[in-house]
């Protein structure tokens, strides 16, 4: 009880105004997560190929340092839904594991709800929930109901309170049909819903979701997203999401942090990201007969096959109406104009920033 009060007091101390990308938010916002110059380095064994390499590794072991996270700093406001994304090996999972107390940082400072995960892991665990899409926490031979009761005991919730909570969550997450079926007999989608419920049994203030929709079909993905959204809306739960699924990011989060090679390469609002990066449009045209396409600055022919063509129009160079005028309208059989998919934007950021980071590292070494 004393610890909880102390944590709340500490959390209140972190009320402040966040200044981000030139947008000054005037209202006082309580920060749920605060990270300063966070670093983590792993020592990895290196071995030459073949049997000879194996023998050498025993006699003269060689190790190499891999800097998984390099002085990362950011903050997450209470009730915010943040997408923390990056390519494989970028340091996302390492960061999330340091925020949840799984890994000890080598440097920097972390505070989640005013609690240091490395020093007060247990106190923090009462306040946060975690869902790792690739790591199941449920006992597979037990029913979801028995699992939830077990999790209730883990979080020191009384049996009556656990029953009440299971009832509420089962209704909200529509678990009624399979709550008494052993977890091993459930579909992946049903299991993930149960994993989320298990992580919510103690009403966490911050929920860490590490690829929660991995392997799910589009319908179940959508259902999981709407449940997460609903929870954020109704309980003001802070959501820290890592995912490779652009749909998760686009539909859930208002802010995005992109990491690459252990560093933050972009910290922006989704709105800002789209405004800055969506100045390119994709125009797909089907002509009645094969015709030459315009060679104008701002229009790039991405693909042309027979009467079908795919163009990219840079609206910063040429207005979309002007670009359309370059195409012979009478010969057009069908036309479709769309934004560049967010996936492509993110991919380009990964590539561009990854290249920059590699160059920086190269210069640094040189």
153 binds other proteins (CB under 8 A): yes
DSSP-derived 3-state class of residue 244: coil
Rounded Cα gap, residues 168 and 280, in angstroms: 46
65 binds other proteins (CB under 8 A): no
Are residues 119 and 200 in contact, defined by beta-carbon separation less than 8 angstroms? Answer: no
Strand 255-260 with 81-85, pairing: parallel
DSSP state letter for 183 = G
Rounded Cα gap, residues 264 and 262, in angstroms: 7
Applying CB under 8 A, which of residues 97, 165, 225, 255 lies at the interface with other proteins? 97
100 binds other proteins (CB under 8 A): yes
Rounded Cα gap, residues 39 and 263, in angstroms: 10
DSSP-derived 3-state class of residue 230: helix
Rounded Cα gap, residues 134 and 256, in angstroms: 22
DSSP state letter for 149 = H
Rounded Cα gap, residues 246 and 186, in angstroms: 26
Rounded Cα gap, residues 45 and 56, in angstroms: 12
Applying CB under 8 A, which of residues 108, 150, 246, 286 lies at the interface with other proteins? 150
244 Cβ contact list (under 8 Å, min separation 6): 85, 211, 214
Interaction pattern, residues 25-64, with other proteins; x per rule: CB under 8 A:
-----------------x--x-------------------
14 binds other proteins (CB under 8 A): no
Applying CB under 8 A, which of residues 101, 114, 144, 212 lies at the interface with other proteins? 101
Return the biggest CA–CA distance within the chain.
78
- Residues 154-173 interacting with other proteins (rule: CB under 8 A): 154-156
Part in contact with other proteins (CB under 8 A); list of ranges 140-148, 242-250, 290-298, 305-313: 140-148
Rounded Cα gap, residues 6 and 203, in angstroms: 19
145 binds other proteins (CB under 8 A): no
179 binds other proteins (CB under 8 A): no
Residue 34: closest CA among 117, 109, 143, 121 = 109
Angle in degrees, CA 147, 148, 154, rounded to 5:
90
Part in contact with other proteins (CB under 8 A); list of ranges 115-123, 222-230, 232-240, 334-342: 115-123
188 binds other proteins (CB under 8 A): no
Part in contact with other proteins (CB under 8 A); list of ranges 10-18, 96-104, 290-298, 326-334: 96-104
Closest distance of CB 118 from other proteins, Å: 8
Applying CB under 8 A, which of residues 31, 39, 130, 260 lies at the interface with other proteins? 130
Closest distance of CB 129 from other proteins, Å: 9
93 binds other proteins (CB under 8 A): yes
Part in contact with other proteins (CB under 8 A); list of ranges 4-12, 125-133, 256-264, 339-347: 125-133
Part in contact with other proteins (CB under 8 A); list of ranges 136-144, 164-172, 240-248, 323-331: 136-144
Are residues 251 and 274 in contact, defined by beta-carbon separation less than 8 angstroms? Answer: no
Applying CB under 8 A, which of residues 84, 132, 173, 240 lies at the interface with other proteins? 132
The residues of the shown chain that bind other proteins, judged by CB under 8 A, are: 42, 45, 93-94, 97, 100-104, 121-123, 125-126, 128, 130, 132, 134-142, 146, 150, 153-156
């Amino acid at each position: 009880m004393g610890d909880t009060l102390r944590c709340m007091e500490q959390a209140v101390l972190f009320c402040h105004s966040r200044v981000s990308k030139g947008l000054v938010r005037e209202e006082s916002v309580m920060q749920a997560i605060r990270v300063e110059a966070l670093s983590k380095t792993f020592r990895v064994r290196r071995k030459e190929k073949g049997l000879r390499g194996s023998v050498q590794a025993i006699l003269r072991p060689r190790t190499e340092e891999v800097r998984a996270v390099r002085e990362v700093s950011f903050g997450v406001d209470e009730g915010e839904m943040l997408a923390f994304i990056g390519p494989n090996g970028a340091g996302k999972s390492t960061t999330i594991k340091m925020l949840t107390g799984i890994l000890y940082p080598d440097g920097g400072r972390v505070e989640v709800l005013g609690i240091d995960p490395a020093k007060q892991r247990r106190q923090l665990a009462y306040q946060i929930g975690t869902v790792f899409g690739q790591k199941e926490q449920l006992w597979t031979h037990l029913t979801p109901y028995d699992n939830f009761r077990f999790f209730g005991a883990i979080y020191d919730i009384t049996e009556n309170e656990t029953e009440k909570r299971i009832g509420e969550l089962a209704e909200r997450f529509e678990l009624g049909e399979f709550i008494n079926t052993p977890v091993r007999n459930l579909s992946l989608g049903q299991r993930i819903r149960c994993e989320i419920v298990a992580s919510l049994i103690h009403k966490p203030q911050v929920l860490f979701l590490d690829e929660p929709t991995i392997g799910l079909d589009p319908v179940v993905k959508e259902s999981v997203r709407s449940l997460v959204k609903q929870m954020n809306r109704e309980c003001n739960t802070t959501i820290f999401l890592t995912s490779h699924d652009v749909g998760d990011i686009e539909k859930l989060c208002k802010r995005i942090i992109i990491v690459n090679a252990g560093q933050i390469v972009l910290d922006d609002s989704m709105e800002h990201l789209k405004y800055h990066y969506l100045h390119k449009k994709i125009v797909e045209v089907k002509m009645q007969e094969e015709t030459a396409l315009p060679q104008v600055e701002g229009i790039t022919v991405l693909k042309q096959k027979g009467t079908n063509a795919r163009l990219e129009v840079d609206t910063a160079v040429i207005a979309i109406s002007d670009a359309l005028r370059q195409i012979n309208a009478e010969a057009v059989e069908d036309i479709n104009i769309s934004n560049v998919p967010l996936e492509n934007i993110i991919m380009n950021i990964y590539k561009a920033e990854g290249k920059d980071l590699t160059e920086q590292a190269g210069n640094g070494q040189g």
